[in-house]
Amino acid sequence: MKCTIHANKQFVRGTVDPRLFGSFVEQLGRAVYGGVYEVDHPASDEEGFRTDVMDLVRQLDVPVVRFPGGNYVSNFNWEDSIGPKENRPTRLDLAWKALDPNQFGLQEFMHWAKKVGTEPMMVFNLGTRGLAEAKELVEYCNHPGGSYLSDLRKSHGSEDPFDIKLWGLGNEMDGPWQVGHKTAEEYGRLASEVGKAIKLFDPSLELVACGSSNSNMPTFPKWEETVLDHTYEVVDYLSLHMYFRNDEKDIATFLACSASMDAFIETVVHVCDYVKAKKRSKKTMYLCFDEWNVWFHSHDKDKQQTPWIVGPSLLEDVYTFEDALVVGCLLNSLLRHCDRVKIACIAQLVNTIAPIMTETGGDAWKQTIYWPLNYASKYGRGEILECRVEVASYENKQYGTIPYADTLMVHHPETGEIDLFVVNRHQSESLALNLDLTGFGPDYHVFEQVVLQHADLYAVNDKDNPDEVKPSVVAFTDKNTSALQVAPLSWNLLRFH
């Protein structure tokens, strides 16, 4: 099948904010205990951080990590997680019916973030708590000293402020499952008052208001409108969450699901711009897609989980090759909307619906979805080009007309290189790529093709076969790009200079 791509370097959709490749560590399952933190593990450092996990995180080059939740945060007392570890209380985490020993708290997270080279995105509890606790948390974290809470931080060993720039105003507050769930009016009022207080402390701090938990929520998109009516001038981003599943084992539909991510983003952008117009505002609202991923493999197992233990094996989706293709399409969708989506966090980072999996006391390895994420993080930071793509499409009952090729082109003006991400959704035909690179000069040619492909859609990586699904790299020595082929059901990165 022919696929022709016309690109012109003048036609730039937007420049990618590196925070699009962010992630999320929630106090959930083995994300923390047995994941990033395991005091007795032979590979752990003096602070109990697993160095094997840190290495895999560093390779992903994750610019921002959201913490500590998620649903967990709506019942979290930040004060429980500071000071000498032996004095910290064990609490009941109502969201996940687990025991929370508070051994990996605020300070530990900040140390870990520094070690892996990431910035924190800290989320306030706006479920069981409110303005007072939020402003006190910011004082503890960011004030240099001379006040009660900043001096308390110093007494805990952190002389310098944590200087956390990005803050989430609660989590999924539209969801009836949320501890302290609120109506849009209630949440909008609270978020705006918390936001106002935080910006009185430091107007340069960036705030994310909760949008809908997904686009099927009965309150979507009215929720966005009401929340923004209250918060438009005080917040910097509105959040989106979306998870994808394939219970029916219907690959054509599953591969098309990025169309619903596109539609969700575009609808939220319209609501933001509508509120902007109503308010006659000069400010543009940006989006923070702070939870996205495939999530369904572990649903049945999770129903059998023993409650009230530390670090239960929850949400441990073992990802297939098919999931990696979908994650590739979802990354293309986020990148395509880089003019408005500035931050995104794959949910999550370790063990819990995550690209990195560990065995408690044992190895750490890369899940299949690690690979598209890894390459997008490395080569997706640049200018996203508006391309015209000519390729056949198919009709899907759920998502409509879907092109067989999901393509995304990134230009790096500083090196002149171009990176092209392509997922071939066709189940039996290769794509014969024909590139029309107007304005790039006549000599542009491909020098490398990275391919993620497997004969079995359900192939997985596990501790015995950690490299079952991994990319292969083909180097091109001559300049003939006319024969570029993209195999059926494959994810690809083609690099040009």
Q: Looking at the annotation, which residues are catalytic? A: 172, 291
Does 239 interact with ligand AHR (rule: CB under 6 A)?
A: no
Q: Please spell the DSSP secondary structure of 406-439, one letter per residue.
A: EEEEEEETTTTEEEEEEEE--SS--EEEEEEEET
DSSP 95: T
378 half-sphere exposure, CB direction, 13 A CA radius: 14
- The span of 65-73, 194-202, 335-343, 426-434 binding ligand AHR (CB under 6 A) equals 65-73
To ligand AHR, the closest distance from the beta carbon of 171 in angstroms equals: 5
Binding positions for ligand AHR, 307-346, rule CB under 6 A: none
Does 69 interact with ligand AHR (rule: CB under 6 A)?
A: yes
Does 172 interact with ligand AHR (rule: CB under 6 A)?
A: yes
Q: Given the complex with ligand AHR, which of 28 and 486 has the nearer CB atom? A: 28
Alpha carbon 55 to chain centroid distance? 19
Does 210 interact with ligand AHR (rule: CB under 6 A)?
A: no
Q: Please spell the DSSP secondary structure of 188-204, one letter per residue.
A: HHHHHHHHHHHHHH-TT
To ligand AHR, the closest distance from the beta carbon of 293 in angstroms equals: 8
Does 226 interact with ligand AHR (rule: CB under 6 A)?
A: no
Does 347 interact with ligand AHR (rule: CB under 6 A)?
A: yes
- The span of 69-77, 121-129, 189-197, 391-399 binding ligand AHR (CB under 6 A) equals 69-77
Per CB under 6 A, the list member of 23, 102, 125, 171 interacting with ligand AHR is 171
Q: Given the complex with ligand AHR, which of 211 and 382 has the nearer CB atom? A: 211
How many residues bind ligand AHR (CB under 6 A)? The answer is 9
> Among residues 126, 205, 118, 110, which one has the least CA distance to residue 166?
205
Q: Given the complex with ligand AHR, which of 95 and 275 has the nearer CB atom? A: 95
Q: Given the complex with ligand AHR, which of 246 and 351 has the nearer CB atom? A: 351
Buried residues in 120-142 as b, exposed as e (16+ CB within 10 A): bbbbbbbbebbbebbbbbbbbbb
User: How far, in Å, CA of 320 to CA of 326, rounded?
Assistant: 10
- Letters for 272-311 (x = contact with ligand AHR by CB under 6 A, - = none) are -------------------x--------------------
To ligand AHR, the closest distance from the beta carbon of 314 in angstroms equals: 9
User: How far, in Å, CA of 459 to CA of 461, rounded?
Assistant: 7
To ligand AHR, the closest distance from the beta carbon of 70 in angstroms equals: 3
| One-letter amino acid for residue 476 of the chain | F
Beta strands in 319-452 (DSSP E): 341-347, 356-358, 364-366, 383-385, 388-390, 393-396, 400-403, 405-412, 417-424, 431-438, 446-452
Q: Work out the burial of residue 20: count CB atoms within 10 Å of its CB; fewer than 13 is exposed, 13-18 middle, 19 or more buried.
A: buried
To ligand AHR, the closest distance from the beta carbon of 68 in angstroms equals: 10
Per CB under 6 A, the list member of 71, 81, 374, 396 interacting with ligand AHR is 71
Per CB under 6 A, the list member of 3, 26, 323, 329 interacting with ligand AHR is 26
Runs of H (alpha helix) within 93-183: 106-116, 131-142, 148-155
Does 93 interact with ligand AHR (rule: CB under 6 A)?
A: no
β-strand partners of 494: 420, 449
User: How far, in Å, CA of 96 to CA of 354, rounded?
Assistant: 17
Does 70 interact with ligand AHR (rule: CB under 6 A)?
A: yes
- The span of 51-59, 64-72, 259-267, 415-423 binding ligand AHR (CB under 6 A) equals 64-72
What is the token pair recorded at 157? 């060993």
User: How far, in Å, CA of 358 to CA of 34, rounded?
Assistant: 7
- The span of 68-76, 118-126, 380-388, 478-486 binding ligand AHR (CB under 6 A) equals 68-76
User: How far, in Å, CA of 496 to CA of 360, rounded?
Assistant: 42
Q: Given the complex with ligand AHR, which of 258 and 351 has the nearer CB atom? A: 351
To ligand AHR, the closest distance from the beta carbon of 368 in angstroms equals: 19
- The span of 67-75, 121-129, 257-265, 425-433 binding ligand AHR (CB under 6 A) equals 67-75
Does 231 interact with ligand AHR (rule: CB under 6 A)?
A: no
Q: Given the complex with ligand AHR, which of 172 and 206 has the nearer CB atom? A: 172
Cis peptide before 471 (omega within 30 of 0): no
N-to-C CA span, the chain = 25
Q: Given the complex with ligand AHR, which of 118 and 171 has the nearer CB atom? A: 171
Hunting for tokens 């997008």 — which residue is that? 376
Most distant pair of Cα atoms in the chain: their distance: 68
Q: Given the complex with ligand AHR, which of 69 and 372 has the nearer CB atom? A: 69
Report the interface residues with ligand AHR, using CB under 6 A. Answer: 26, 69-71, 171-172, 291, 347-348
